[in-house]
Structures are given as structure tokens and as C-alpha cells.
Structure 1
Amino acid sequence: MTFIKAQASSLVATCFDFLTTIVLVNVFGWWYLAGSVTGTIAGGVLNFMLGRLWTFNAADARIEWQFIKYALVWAGSLLLNAAGVFVITHYIGASYIISKIITSVAVGIGYNYVLQKKFVFR
């Protein structure tokens, strides 16, 4: 059940991330990588709160320690996401949206879920 809740939380945070990214790039004319990083930050904050309060039911633990651990994991996630979007967009020539989808799925399942469950919210 935790995996399903984590994926639902991730989906909500990812939608917020993508919405932020698309608005910044297509409406405000930001560079795709700056928009992607900003979207990742917005989605990360939302995902932390959802993980703490709903996915892992960890609201009774100290938020400061959870946030520090989350920030460490999230920093790695941010770097992996930014690198993936840049490499796929710049070198392969895919649309930044396609690049972000591919990277988000890979990082979300292979990195974020595992470290949040085993390290951040255990």
C-alpha cells in the first residue's frame, strides 16, 4: 500500500512540477533547464509534505530531521533530473517535456522512492 501511496503522491507532485515548468518556459519564456529546475523544486516541496503527512504517516517525527534527510535525497534527485533533462534535450534532441517525463519516471522509481522509504521517512 505504501508503494501505491508513494506513486500517487509522486504523481501529484510531478503534475505540479510539470505545470510549473511549462508555465515558466512557455508563458514566461524561461530557458527550459531553469524552468525544469524550478518545477523540480516546487514539486519537491509538495512531495515532502505529502510524504510526511500521508504516504509514510511520519508526521509524529521531528520535521527538522526529516527535512534535512529529505533535502539530502532531494539534492541528488534535483541533480539527476537536471542532468537527465539536459542530456536528453541537448544531445538527443528530444523536446524538454519528453526529456522531463523520461527522467522523472526513472529518477522517481529508481532513486526517490527507495531513499524516501528507507532513509527519510522510515
Structure 2
Amino acid sequence: MKTFAKAQLASLIASIIDYWCTIIAVEIFGIWYVWASAIGTMIGGITNFSLGRNWVFRNKEKARQVQLFRYTMVWTGYLILTTFGVFLLTHFAHVNYIYSKATVSLLMAISYNYPLQKKFVFR
């Protein structure tokens, strides 16, 4: 349970950075919310990998390249699913892109990221 809590905290920190980048990209730079969401997800992903490797799972024994490869595979799926989910909620359900991103990323953090990081990336 402690690892799950730490993983969710790391996810929260990465998500705050992700949302901040997304909002700045949309509101200041005028980037389309779908691209901005993808940019935020990329930056948040880098943050999440660093926290996951060094703090949550404390798995520095394995080669960084192996973990990075596995993380990239998982993260690519997350990027695609999250970006598509944000688009669907925002475009078709007319939900604000920030709420769409928060909803989708919360669901993905619990159902997708944590299990795959624990059992595949940082095992």
C-alpha cells in the first residue's frame, strides 16, 4: 500500500507539471488543446519516470536503458489513450479541456500506469 501511495503522489506531481504545461501551451501560446495535452503528457512522463525510478520503486539496480525502454512502451500507450480521451471528452461531450485531462489522467493513473509500472517497468 505504501508503494501505491507513493506512486499516486509521484503521479500527482507529474500531473501538476503536465497540466501546467498544457494550460500554458493553450492559454499563452495558443496551441490546440490536443497538441498541448500531448506536450504536457510528454513533460509529465519525464517527471514520472524520474520519480518512479528513484523514489517510488527505488529500482536503480537494473539498467536505466531497460527501464527507460519499458517505460517508453507503457508511456506511449498512455499518451495515445490520454490524448484520445481528452479529445473525446472535450470535442464530443463539450467538457472543458482541463477537466477532460484531469478525468482521463486520474482514471489512467490508477487503472493503467500503476499496474504496468509496478509489474513491468520497475519490477
TM-score range (shorter-chain normalised) is over 0.9
**1:20-68 deviation digits (Å, cap 9, x = unpaired):** 0000000111100010000000000010000000000011210000000
Question: What secondary structure sits across from 1:29 in the alignment?
Answer: coil
**1:65-121 deviation digits (Å, cap 9, x = unpaired):** 000000000000001100100000000000000100110001111000000000000
Specify the code of the residue in structure 1 equivalent to 2:82: N
Fraction of identical pairs, as percent: 47
**TM-score for both structures, normalised by structure 2:** 0.98
User: Unaligned 5+ residue runs, structure 2?
Assistant: none
Q: Distance in 2 between matches of 1:35 and 1:27?
A: 11
- Determine whether 1:19 maps to 2:34: no
Specify the code of the residue in structure 2 equivalent to 1:97: I
Residue matched to 2:33: 32
Q: Distance in 1 between matches of 2:30 and 2:103?
A: 23
Q: Distance in 1 between matches of 2:96 and 2:15?
A: 17
Residue matched to 1:118: 119
Query: Residues 26-105 of structure 1 correspond to what in structure 2 (within 5 A)?
Result: 26-105=27-106
Specify the code of the residue in structure 2 equivalent to 1:49: S
Flag as ranges the 4+ runs of structure 1 deviating above 2 A.
Answer: none
- Count of matched residue positions in the alignment of Structure 1 and Structure 2: 122
Q: Distance in 2 between matches of 1:53 and 1:59?
A: 7
**Shift of the alpha carbon at 1:12?**
0.4
Q: Distance in 2 between matches of 1:3 and 1:74?
A: 18
Q: Distance in 1 between matches of 2:64 and 2:72?
A: 12
**TM-score for both structures, normalised by structure 1:** 0.99
Question: What secondary structure sits across from 2:60 in the alignment?
Answer: coil
Over the residues paired in the alignment, what is the CA RMSD in angstroms? 0.5
Q: Distance in 1 between matches of 2:109 and 2:9?
A: 12
User: Unaligned 5+ residue runs, structure 1?
Assistant: none
